[in-house]
Amino acid sequence: AESRIANFGAGPSALPESVLVEAAKGLLNFNGTGIGIAEISHRSKEFGAYIKETANLIREQLDVPSTHEVLFMQGGGTGQFSAVVLNLLARHRLLHPDLPEHDRILDYVLTGSWSKAAYTEAMRLAHGATVRIAADSRAHSADGKSFDGLPPHSGFTFSPNPALIYYCENETVSGTQFAGEEGTPTSFPFHLLPTDAGLLPLVGDYSSSFMSRPIPRLADHAIIYAGAQKNLGPAGATILIVRKDCIVDVDAAAKIGGAPVPISLAYRPYAANDSMPNTPSVLAIYISGLVLKRNKALGGVRYYEEFNRRKKEKVYEVLKEGEARGVFKSKVREGEGSWMNIVFGVLGDGAEARFLEGAELRGMKGLKGHRSVGGIRVSLYNAVTEEWTDQLVAYMRDFIAEQS
Ligand code: PMP
């Protein structure tokens, strides 16, 4: 539609226009039922089939093995900051009932404000267990306090038998991502994980990169989670890929130690009831399902990997030109930046405001950086088209020419 503009927002973010047109029909009449999707019972056979189909689309597109369940929950990424701690501590208690609570170790990799927020929540909920830092990118930054890159592999130390190992694959605010090929310095160091601790309790926050490319070593994860509101659909649905040994009886675990787990955060009732122990986020799941069907027709995550690679390469290239001319300044070390969220400053008094105003005049919005780091943030999620990207790159080039 003509009134729509290029939306580079960080989340909630753009959705494919064709999906929105179809969703509008579903709002009036879902799959021929005569009832709209926001009005129909989640216990109807039509929605029951739909939620299973949507979970299967995720399974298919990410090659999720039969060792793992695909679940839908609510509460967003923040809900999972709590849930992963509660469920995995419960698992550890059942596996090692005689261990003193302070010997249950939660290992956190800190690379930005989102992993830091998850770490802070773990400290609130640890209940006697020990929360430790397995790596911190700030220790390797130029000023000793910024999340401006990834920790080097030599900066990681993991505990031998942890209850949880946590990392955020894509830091939406600071703009770093473990995006390198496995084994290279910008990949997650899977080779450093403990090898004699049985099935590893490895948790990956994929909130802002889910479905943007294949997930490296998916099968080696205990839990991968993501809020839908970046690459997949509207806010309200949280997607989980959980290995079956992490779906435990939290009440049996509470008899050993810790506090009872709120039932809305325990994984087992979701796994036992097709993600519907209670009312799920019906509308958000519906629209996510439409996006997944469209993805499949286009070629799935391998298609998006190439598509997103092209987009980010164009933006990083012009950013580098702007740096050479003293107009832009990246907030992330070269080669360690995210494919999804590119963050940089515009040098000079009032230049940032001018950049944003100029972008808006040309029909581009959502470029203002997060309030905690300032500057510009370009989010290039799946629904951001190549045309929008080219439009932004052309504008950045004009801006460089004008300023220098
Ligand atoms: N993790 C990451 C990487 C995020 O980008 C966000 C939100 N932008 C969150 C967690 C928190 O998610 P929510 O707002 O759904 O609680």
Structural domain count, the chain: 2
Distance CA 66, CA 204 (A): 19
> Which residues partner with 278 through β-bridges?
none
Q: Is residue 319 part of a domain?
A: yes
Q: Is residue 166 part of a domain?
A: yes
Residue pair 250/82 in contact by the 8 Å Cβ criterion: no
Q: CB burial class (10 A; 0-12, 13-18, 19+) of residue 73?
A: buried
Question: Same domain for 327 and 244?
Answer: no
Question: Same domain for 85 and 208?
Answer: yes
Reported as a pLDDT band with limits 50, 70 and 90, residue 351 is: very high
Question: Which residue's alpha carbon is nearest to atom 2 within ligand 1?
Answer: 207
- Out of 242, 261, 296, pick the residue that ends a domain: 296
Quote the tokens at residue 241. Answer: 């890929």
Instruction: Give residue 275 CA to ligand 1 midpoint distance, Å.
Output: 21
Question: Same domain for 265 and 349?
Answer: no
Asked if 205 is an active-site residue, the reply is yes
| Ligand 1 atom showing the smallest separation from residue 206 Cα | 3
Show the beta-strand stretches assigned E in 80-230: 105-110, 130-136, 164-168, 170-171, 176-177, 202-205, 223-227
Distance CA 321, CA 323 (A): 5
The verdict on the CB of residue 114 being under 6 Å from ligand 1 is yes
Per-residue pLDDT tens digits for 213-228: 999 999 999 999 999 9
Q: What is the pTM of this model?
A: 0.98
Backbone angles phi, psi at 118, to 5 degrees: -65, -40
The verdict on the CB of residue 236 being under 6 Å from ligand 1 is no
Mean pLDDT of 115-134: 98
CATH code for the domain in which residue 377 is found: 3.90.1150.10
**Cα atoms found within 13 Å of the Cα of residue 236, Cβ hemisphere only:** 12
- Out of 296, 315, 345, pick the residue that ends a domain: 296
Mean pLDDT of 308-335: 98
Q: Which entry of 107, 136, 230, 331 is annotated as an active-site residue?
A: 230
Question: Same domain for 335 and 212?
Answer: no
Q: Is residue 29 part of a domain?
A: no
Q: Which entry of 107, 114, 312, 388 is annotated as an active-site residue?
A: 114
Question: Same domain for 281 and 142?
Answer: yes
Question: Same domain for 259 and 347?
Answer: no
Average pLDDT, the chain: 97
Residue 159's pLDDT is what? 97
List the domain range (segments joined by +) for residue 380. Answer: 301-403
Asked if 114 is an active-site residue, the reply is yes
Q: Is residue 10 part of a domain?
A: no
Tell me what ipTM this predicted complex has.
0.99
* Beta strand 68-73 pairing with 238-243: antiparallel
Question: Same domain for 156 and 116?
Answer: yes
- Out of 244, 266, 296, pick the residue that ends a domain: 296
Per-residue pLDDT tens digits for 148-197: 999 999 999 999 999 999 999 999 999 999 999 999 999 999 999 998 88
Question: Same domain for 154 and 206?
Answer: yes
Instruction: Give residue 245 CA to ligand 1 midpoint distance, Å.
Output: 25
The verdict on the CB of residue 76 being under 6 Å from ligand 1 is yes
Pocket test for ligand 1, best of 113, 169, 208 (most atoms within 8 A of CB): 208
CATH code for the domain in which residue 180 is found: 3.40.640.10
Distance CA 8, CA 24 (A): 23
The SS3 call for residue 240 is: strand
Question: Same domain for 263 and 135?
Answer: yes
Instruction: Give residue 324 CA to ligand 1 midpoint distance, Å.
Output: 33
Indicate whether 1 pLDDT > 70: no
Question: Same domain for 190 and 56?
Answer: yes
Question: Same domain for 178 and 61?
Answer: yes
Q: Is residue 321 part of a domain?
A: yes
Question: Same domain for 290 and 307?
Answer: no
